[in-house]
A and B are shown apart, each in its own frame.
Chain A
Amino acid sequence: MTERRIEAAAGFDEFVSDRGGALWWAAWLLTGDAHHAEDLVQTALTKMYGRYASCENDRHFEAQVRTTIYRTFVSWWRRKAWRSEVPTEVHPDAIGVVDDDPALREDLLRALATLPRMQRAVLVLRYFEDRPAQEVAQMLGIPVGTVTSHASRGLKAMRLSTHLSDTEVDS
């Protein structure tokens, strides 16, 4: 029993070290804030920690953690005072920036912040994680048609957003 626990503990540590950052990206797009994103990832990891040993592999575990991130965001965040906040600008000295486009970053985060949580989750899953509608529906526990509807409405809202009206978004 002791030996198995050591393997599971080490494996979990390694998973978090390898994949924590990628999970954080999704959380950051959802919440628009670095600290909130870390808290969201931590919450999901805390909830899923006990299941690590029973997962077939890290990919399986990551899928469960991601599902937990999105579902927690949709259901939990509505109770937080954070929903009244707008995302703050990401200062380069707080988090390193890979591609310095601060204007687009701020505008896009502000536009995302105006969307209902479910729409935001669908847009991030569809267009950041590039997941098909069926998979998005399974992750969020909603019908496929609702995913399509949210994606459509979310894109429309982004297109009409005043935060992006002066921002050029080139393909």
Chain B
Amino acid sequence: MNGHELSDAFQRILPEQPSAGGWAGRARRRSQHRRRMVGAAAVAVVVAFAIPMGLHLGAGPQVMTTPAPTATPQPEREGMPTPCQEAADKNFEGTDPVDGKLPEGATKLWLCGEAYPRLPYGGQLAFIGPQEALTVGVDEAVSAFNDLTWQEGAAIDCASSGEVYHLLVEYPDQKTQTLEGNFAPDGCQHFRMSSGIVEGADGYVATLQDLWEAQRESTDPVQLDVTMCPGYTSLFSMDPADLGHGHGCVLQRKTTAGGAGATMRSDDLPADLLTLVRDKVSSGGEPLSRFGAFSSDEQIVLLSPHNDPVTLSWGTWGRAAGLMWNNPERRVWYPDAAQAQRLDDYFAQLRRNPDAEPEPTLGPEDTGGLTPKVCADIRDGTLAPDQLPAGDRLPVGAERVWLCGDLNARFGGQLGLREPLVVDPDRVVDAINQLEPMPAREGDGCTEVGGVTYHLAIDYPDGRRRVISAETVNCRWVGGWGGRVGGDALLEAIAPMWTEQRATHLSSDLGEPRLCDGYPRSDTGEPRYPHTFLPVDRAEATSGALCGLPSDSTDFDGDVVQRWLPPALVTAIAEATPTPGAPEDMRLTAGLPSIVLLNAFGDPLVLAVGEGGVVYLGEEGGAWMPSGPLADEWQEALSGLRTTPFYVAPPECGGYDPATLTGDLSRVVGGLTCLGQFAVPAKGPDLEPAFATELARRFAAESTKATLNGWNTANFLVLTDADGKSTRLYWNGRNPAHLVDEMSERSWPIPGDVQRELERYGFDFTPE
């Protein structure tokens, strides 16, 4: 596929554009919410978000400065009434009322907080309405709203931002009107709509509270089936005397693969603490600036009989440790030493939950390296793969599944995953059993080389083990010839199971495995280092080692030295961006060191080191050189290792400098060949002048502009014109063979007569 074909393919597959209705409004609201969060709590937000948090448990880390609504209810909304959750899932989208006025006849009204996924420390940032809908006095609520002032076409610019809440107004015809209100202070409370605003909403929520309280005089409280942890704070202004029960809540942070996660733990509040805290809230505490941190990992959630909450956060607010709450405004109580100790002890006890199970860790059977024993046994033939005829099914009830790489390094690597799948491993069994049988191919054979092969070792509780091999290319067989087909799809389906498992299961300690030896060397004897056929993100590297030959080595036969890199260097390499001026294209690296990075689960990523210690940053491109103190550490790590390549191209075939390649093909008088392998050219025979001249003429006349998709840098011609200037024509590295000129971006399919002549000079057009 070339660029033109890809362009065409892109155009052909485009679906219809979706309607962008609602996008502008949503972006506006999210932008304003984001500005409120950033502007009002800059310091605390920076601190709180320094560690990526897996707030959606199992969903991986997120950068919470840009909250993203999702399409399904989230566990963090526990305690939020279901209609509010469902509306929040849709980001409270709805149609604005005509002329800013609600129709009469509403039968029910819900008061809800905000839409976005709740932060783990709720508190005053996360507001909530009552647990029950307003069904008595709804017409009064509608009238009170319609008495407010509608300003069509207006926008508002409040001096300070406020909290957002929502109203869901339900009608007999199942339709619901959704409104977005804003608690902006300083007389700026309003309702925002796409076509204008409703002003003067100061006191509207207080009006609603009066209506709810009137209703509650004749209704029983709604029971809460869940413990509100992390806590919310009611949109109503609460009387502390009503807050009759409560619980403590702590956020337990943990780090798993892919980022950090959290669990919330709660317990009833002891009577003495309940009394103490209620008294202090009743006394009013001290005012606290509305700017600053929102909450903490340790909370006390007080609840009214109707489960309206006020959440108090235990932390350092201003001058000392205190309990902070935000109802109706931000206040703090600073305990004395004994009271503070009481609170510390309570939360410490809450964190020490004796029923907590130890963090699950996964690790391979002991091998002293990155390869589980079962995978090593498969690799060295101790364990042979099973034949799984299409008519046979693997039994369910698996205990764990290992995913092993193949020894053949040419097509993707040697390693699979270090830990087994223990979370619902029967999913792998089912996936295999559901594959289609391999079609009968009489007289048609598939070679077993050309792509990634992998092996699944399935362990059962009774000690049985089944080893099923699969390939991702060619016939894509699974379970041997005559078995099933779909090895590529199978790998795509099961690899994410390990990713999911890693969100909740930690890896065992990697130790310091051997990384630099024990892996098959290249055809030229060059050391090769562990690879895995699954993608590894450089940014997730947690450790790494340098693998290199001693500086006095003259060939590849010596032992490779392994040096573990200091953590600061590992971090720097993981986070590195290309250094301006560093060579962008990988130069010859034969004989030079490599870096093997490992993530928390022992997945390796190999980076090449170039001359002088430049680090090539892999698939993402670019090269990096450490600076400052890191440069010294890096040079120390490299000391005693070879940092110049074994192979140096001869002057005629090396020293690539585009500025010198300014030859005129119409005036070529001679040339030479550069021939080699693995990007290492050696000078070959000189070209007969007449042949060089004719070849240049035909190239200029018959070549066409093309998108060049790479070329073989060890096999090319250097044509020299009458002024001594050069042009390089590279073999494109594959067949049908082309000669390409990088500078002019032209390509020429080599005619048969020319190709035969070039072969006479020593060209071998067999792809590497």
**Cβ-based interface call for B447 (8 A):** no
Contact A95–B15 (Cβ < 8 Å): yes
- Known A24-B17, A127-B3; judge A85-B30 contact (CB<8 A): no
**Cβ-based interface call for A136 (8 A):** no
Contact A34–B62 (Cβ < 8 Å): no
Contact A45–B155 (Cβ < 8 Å): no
Interface string of A74-115 (1 = CB under 8 A from B): 001011110111100010000111110100110011000000
Q: Select one of A46, A169, A170 contacting B34, CB under 8 A.
A: A46
Contact A2–B157 (Cβ < 8 Å): yes
- Known A155-B2, A162-B473, A169-B9; judge A46-B16 contact (CB<8 A): no
Contact A171–B3 (Cβ < 8 Å): no
What is the CA–CA distance of A104 and B78 in the complex, to the nearest angstrom? Answer: 43
- Known A145-B585, A146-B578, A152-B710; judge A169-B5 contact (CB<8 A): yes
Q: Which residue of B lies closest to A45 (CB)?
A: B27
- Known A28-B15, A104-B13; judge A162-B488 contact (CB<8 A): yes
Q: Which residue of B lies closest to A163 (CB)?
A: B488
Contact A143–B584 (Cβ < 8 Å): yes
What is the CA–CA distance of A76 and B24 in the complex, to the nearest angstrom? Answer: 22
Contact A49–B258 (Cβ < 8 Å): no
Contact B27–A156 (Cβ < 8 Å): no
Q: Which residue of A lies closest to B54 (CB)?
A: A81
Which residues of A120-149 have CB atoms within 8 Å of chain B's CB atoms?
123-124, 126-128, 130, 142-143, 145-146, 149
Contact B619–A79 (Cβ < 8 Å): no
Contact B259–A145 (Cβ < 8 Å): no
**Cβ-based interface call for B744 (8 A):** no
Interface string of B50-69 (1 = CB under 8 A from A): 00100000011111001010
Question: Which A residues touch B710, using CB under 8 A?
Answer: 152-153, 156
Interface centre among B5, B17, B503 (most CB of A within 10 A): B17
Question: Which A residues touch B503, using CB under 8 A?
Answer: 81
What is the CA–CA distance of A171 and B6 in the complex, to the nearest angstrom? Answer: 9
Interface centre among B6, B500, B580, B585 (most CB of A within 10 A): B6
Q: Select one of A35, A83, A104, A162 contacting B472, CB under 8 A.
A: A162
Contact B17–A25 (Cβ < 8 Å): yes
What is the CA–CA distance of A95 and B19 in the complex, to the nearest angstrom? Answer: 10
Question: Which A residues touch B16, using CB under 8 A?
Answer: 95-98
Interface centre among A16, A49, A81, A152 (most CB of B within 10 A): A81
Question: Which A residues touch B535, using CB under 8 A?
Answer: 83, 116
Contact A158–B6 (Cβ < 8 Å): yes
- Known A95-B15, A96-B15; judge A84-B4 contact (CB<8 A): no
Contact A2–B156 (Cβ < 8 Å): yes
**Cβ-based interface call for A69 (8 A):** no
Contact B451–A149 (Cβ < 8 Å): no
Shortest Cβ gap from B116 to chain A (Å): 12
**Cβ-based interface call for B704 (8 A):** no
Contact B9–A98 (Cβ < 8 Å): no
**Cβ-based interface call for A60 (8 A):** no
Contact B31–A164 (Cβ < 8 Å): no
Contact A42–B621 (Cβ < 8 Å): no
Contact B23–A81 (Cβ < 8 Å): no
Chain A residue total in the interface (Cβ 8 A): 76
What is the CA–CA distance of A41 and B28 in the complex, to the nearest angstrom? Answer: 13
**Cβ-based interface call for A55 (8 A):** no
Contact B12–A104 (Cβ < 8 Å): yes
Contact B12–A101 (Cβ < 8 Å): yes
Contact A41–B23 (Cβ < 8 Å): yes
- Which of B291-299, B360-368, B491-499, B753-761 forms part of the interface with chain A? B491-499
Question: Which B residues touch A95, using CB under 8 A?
Answer: 15-16, 18
Which residues of B36-91 have CB atoms within 8 Å of chain A's CB atoms?
52, 59-63, 66, 68, 71
Question: Which B residues touch A64, using CB under 8 A?
Answer: none
Shortest Cβ gap from A45 to chain B (Å): 4
**Cβ-based interface call for A38 (8 A):** yes
Question: Which A residues touch B410, using CB under 8 A?
Answer: none
- Known A143-B584, A143-B622; judge A152-B709 contact (CB<8 A): yes
Shortest Cβ gap from A169 to chain B (Å): 5
What is the CA–CA distance of A17 and B18 in the complex, to the nearest angstrom? Answer: 10
**Cβ-based interface call for B207 (8 A):** no
Contact A162–B451 (Cβ < 8 Å): yes
Contact B20–A21 (Cβ < 8 Å): yes
Q: Which residue of B lies closest to A119 (CB)?
A: B619
Contact B620–A118 (Cβ < 8 Å): yes
Question: Which B residues touch A9, using CB under 8 A?
Answer: 28, 155
Question: Which B residues touch A2, using CB under 8 A?
Answer: 154-157
Which residues of A11-41 have CB atoms within 8 Å of chain B's CB atoms?
12-13, 15-17, 20-22, 24-25, 28-29, 34-35, 38-39, 41
**Cβ-based interface call for B14 (8 A):** yes
**Cβ-based interface call for A59 (8 A):** no
Q: Select one of A78, A81, A116, A152 contacting B708, CB under 8 A.
A: A152
Q: Select one of A5, A12, A81, A158 contacting B157, CB under 8 A.
A: A5
**Cβ-based interface call for B697 (8 A):** no
Shortest Cβ gap from A138 to chain B (Å): 14
- Known A95-B15, A118-B620; judge A155-B709 contact (CB<8 A): yes
Shortest Cβ gap from B402 to chain A (Å): 19
**Cβ-based interface call for B735 (8 A):** no
Shortest Cβ gap from A35 to chain B (Å): 7
Interface string of B153-164 (1 = CB under 8 A from A): 111110000000
**Cβ-based interface call for B7 (8 A):** yes
Contact A143–B10 (Cβ < 8 Å): no
Question: Which A residues touch B451, using CB under 8 A?
Answer: 162
Contact A155–B6 (Cβ < 8 Å): yes
Q: Which residue of A lies closest to B586 (CB)?
A: A149
Q: Which residue of A lies closest to B16 (CB)?
A: A96
Question: Which A residues touch B290, using CB under 8 A?
Answer: none
Shortest Cβ gap from A126 to chain B (Å): 7
Contact B27–A46 (Cβ < 8 Å): yes
**Cβ-based interface call for B386 (8 A):** no
What is the CA–CA distance of A51 and B6 in the complex, to the nearest angstrom? Answer: 34
Question: Which B residues touch A105, using CB under 8 A?
Answer: 13, 15
Question: Which A residues touch B15, using CB under 8 A?
Answer: 28, 34, 90, 95-98, 105
Question: Which A residues touch B496, using CB under 8 A?
Answer: 84-85
What is the CA–CA distance of A84 and B75 in the complex, to the nearest angstrom? Answer: 22
Shortest Cβ gap from A23 to chain B (Å): 9
Question: Which B residues touch A130, using CB under 8 A?
Answer: 7
What is the CA–CA distance of A108 and B681 in the complex, to the nearest angstrom? Answer: 36
**Cβ-based interface call for B342 (8 A):** no
Contact A99–B12 (Cβ < 8 Å): yes
Shortest Cβ gap from A80 to chain B (Å): 6
Question: Which B residues touch A149, using CB under 8 A?
Answer: 584-585, 621
What is the CA–CA distance of A24 and B495 in the complex, to the nearest angstrom? Answer: 28
Contact A5–B155 (Cβ < 8 Å): yes
- Known A21-B18, A146-B621, A150-B621; judge A50-B31 contact (CB<8 A): yes
Interface residues of B (CB under 8 A from A): 1-21, 23-28, 30-31, 34-35, 52, 59-63, 66, 68, 71, 153-157, 194, 258-259, 451, 472-473, 488, 492, 495-496, 499-500, 503, 535, 537, 539, 578, 580, 584-585, 619-622, 707-710
A-B pairs, top 8 by smallest CB distance, nearest first, are: A21-B17, A20-B20, A96-B16, A45-B27, A49-B31, A105-B13, A16-B24, A145-B584
Interface residues of A (CB under 8 A from B): 1-2, 5-6, 9, 12-13, 15-17, 20-22, 24-25, 28-29, 34-35, 38-39, 41-43, 45-47, 49-50, 76, 78-81, 83-86, 90, 95-99, 101, 104-105, 108-109, 116, 118-119, 123-124, 126-128, 130, 142-143, 145-146, 149-153, 155-156, 158-159, 162, 164, 169-171
A-B contact pairs, 7 of them (CB 8 A): A16-B23, A16-B24, A34-B18, A96-B15, A108-B9, A156-B710, A171-B4
